[in-house]
Amino acid sequence: MSRKRTSLERYRLKKILENLASKEGRGTELISLYVPPGRQISEVVSMLKEEWGTASNIKSNTTRKNVQDAIVKVIQRLKLFKTVPENGLIIFCGAIPQNGPGSEKIEGPYVIVPPEPIKVYLYRCDSKFHLDFLMEMLKETETYGILLLDSSEATFATLTGRRLEVVQEITSGIPGKHRAGGQSARRFERLREMRLIDFFKRIGNHANEIFLPIPNLKGIIIGGPGPTKLDFMKGQYLDYRLKEKIIATVDTAYTGEQGVKEIVEKAPEIIKNVRYVEEKRIIQRFLYEIGHDTGMATYGEKEVRRALESGLIETLLISEKLDKIRVKIECTSCGYAYYQTLRSREVQVLEQNISNALCPRCRVAALQIAEKKEVIEELAELAEKAGANVEVLSAETEEGEMLLKSFGGVAAILRYKLQG
């Protein structure tokens, strides 16, 4: 059963991929290894040993050494696994130039257990790490139901990531609107109306049978030409749980599979808006608590940190654009340590100047940076330990921008009121 990936998991994967995508090697010195579930570790190690032997044919001494050293590191890391994890295993390793030619340093191995199963078995040496398969996983992969209808037919389909499946098509058998005049015209219209209601009931039953069993069904898109879809939605034909999941109605020129494809073309924008709506709802709840002074929300790094340490937070809200680092500064002379929260560029300045700074306690120039961690990651870890939900929000909505600019990018909805 698939599990909805949280915004925090998506953020973490995105940060890893951004870091790996920024790295570039010379020639073919960066190794990408994708191992799908079911493969034997021993089999992969044997393949890598063969590749180590093949690499001995590389003419450039530097390239040969870098590739072989990277392969050895990958083998060493692989041997720490008894079996391939259930979603597979991905390893990146290679020589990255540091300060010009001849200054390469083997970086990695970077080990990723993917958030969903991989099918590809890949070993590749290149000047860049191969990230396409992981990039694909960043895209929304929840399942959406598609229901397309008019008075003559209905089509039921599912959309999971890029995979579209037409599950069923049914017809109504209702004749068109051609009718005789006078009394028979009214009777014809009544009969047609009754048959349309029966067809709507059939559509509802099929939709309930097809869509309700889908785990983590994200939403339902209803489409079709003309007003028939709106008449269907006004009635009580769908199970209330499905009715609550209707996220869009789309006008199409066609019914059947061609009409479904019309909806799929418009789906990326619809799906993107679903996450925006979720984010808006979360931030609007926070704004309500703040605006009504209920004491059930707080903001700012200091206050949120205090609430986290007291176990008061229900949902932690963090902007993905929060550019702050939590730095632990330690004195090697007396052991005194303290923390500072700085922007990335301020950390660089601190690193340059810290050797000249005096310890606040012993007044000796023996300070060093002992630890650095992104505030997003640090607060998220505290929240996870406290059993709080974590929402990493974009700054692309008006509400998301407000979280970043008006509330410092860190806020929380509380379980209990913050005292004092």
User: Is there a domain that residue 286 lies in?
Assistant: no
How do residues 95-122 score in pLDDT, each as one tens digit? 998 766 566 788 989 999 988 889 999 9
Alpha helices in 162-250 (DSSP H): 183-211, 228-234, 240-243
Whether the pLDDT of residue 4 is over 60: the answer is no
Which CATH number characterizes residue 194's domain? 3.30.420.60
User: Is there a domain that residue 285 lies in?
Assistant: no
Can you give the residue range of the structural domain that contains 320? Answer: 297-414
Task: Give the full edge-to-edge strand order of the sheet including 337-343.
Answer: 337-343, 324-331, 367-374
338 and 388 housed in the same domain:
yes
At residue 177's C-alpha, the angle toward residues 172 and 178, to 5°, is 125
- The mean pLDDT value for 128-140 works out to 84
Residue 357 exposed, middle or buried by CB count within 10 Å (0-12, 13-18, 19+): middle
- If you count DSSP H runs as helices and E runs as strands, how many of each does the chain have, helices first? 12, 16
123 and 216 housed in the same domain:
no
- The mean pLDDT value for 247-274 works out to 85
**227's tokens:** 């007003």
* End residue of a domain, out of 81, 113, 138: 138
Q: Which residues contact 419 (CB under 8 A, 6 or more apart)?
A: none
134 and 147 housed in the same domain:
no
62 and 125 housed in the same domain:
yes
* End residue of a domain, out of 220, 240, 274: 274
* End residue of a domain, out of 220, 243, 274: 274
332 and 313 housed in the same domain:
yes
CB atoms within 10 A of CB 184: 10
DSSP string for 301-346: HHHHHHHHHTT-EEEEEEETT--EEEEEEEETTT--EEEEEEEHHH
36 and 80 housed in the same domain:
yes
Given this model, what pLDDT does residue 116 score?
Answer: 83
Whether the pLDDT of residue 229 is over 80: the answer is yes
How far apart are the C-alpha atoms of 35 and 173, rounded to whole Å? Answer: 52
| Average pLDDT of the chain to the nearest whole number | 89
Given this model, what pLDDT does residue 72 score?
Answer: 97
Which CATH number characterizes residue 98's domain? 3.30.960.10
162 and 251 housed in the same domain:
yes
266 and 315 housed in the same domain:
no
User: Which residues on neighbouring strands pair with residue 298, listed in sequence order?
Assistant: 412
User: Is there a domain that residue 279 lies in?
Assistant: no
Contact 152, 177 (CB under 8 A): no
Given this model, what pLDDT does residue 3 score?
Answer: 43
- The mean pLDDT value for 374-402 works out to 90
100 and 150 housed in the same domain:
no
Given this model, what pLDDT does residue 2 score?
Answer: 39
Whether the pLDDT of residue 407 is over 60: the answer is yes
- The mean pLDDT value for 289-308 works out to 94
Q: What percent of the chain has pLDDT over 90?
A: 64
- The mean pLDDT value for 129-158 works out to 87
Candidate from 30-34, 204-208, 247-251, 279-283 with smallest mean pLDDT:
279-283
At residue 325's C-alpha, the angle toward residues 319 and 327, to 5°, is 150
Given this model, what pLDDT does residue 146 score?
Answer: 94
Among 9-23, 71-85, 136-150, 158-172, name the most confident range.
71-85
119 and 153 housed in the same domain:
no
- How many structural domains is the chain composed of? 3
Which CATH number characterizes residue 311's domain? 3.30.1330.30
- The mean pLDDT value for 2-8 works out to 63
User: Is there a domain that residue 125 lies in?
Assistant: yes
Q: Which residues contact 254 (CB under 8 A, 6 or more apart)?
A: 225, 262
166 and 236 housed in the same domain:
yes
Candidate from 106-120, 138-152, 262-276 with smallest mean pLDDT:
262-276
CB atoms within 10 A of CB 146: 24
How far apart are the C-alpha atoms of 237 and 147, rounded to whole Å? Answer: 13
- The mean pLDDT value for 180-208 works out to 83
How do residues 30-61 score in pLDDT, each as one tens digit? 999 999 999 999 999 999 999 999 999 999 89
User: Is there a domain that residue 1 lies in?
Assistant: no
How do residues 73-86 score in pLDDT, each as one tens digit? 999 999 999 999 99
Q: What are phi and psi of 375, to 5 degrees?
A: -60, -40
11 and 112 housed in the same domain:
yes
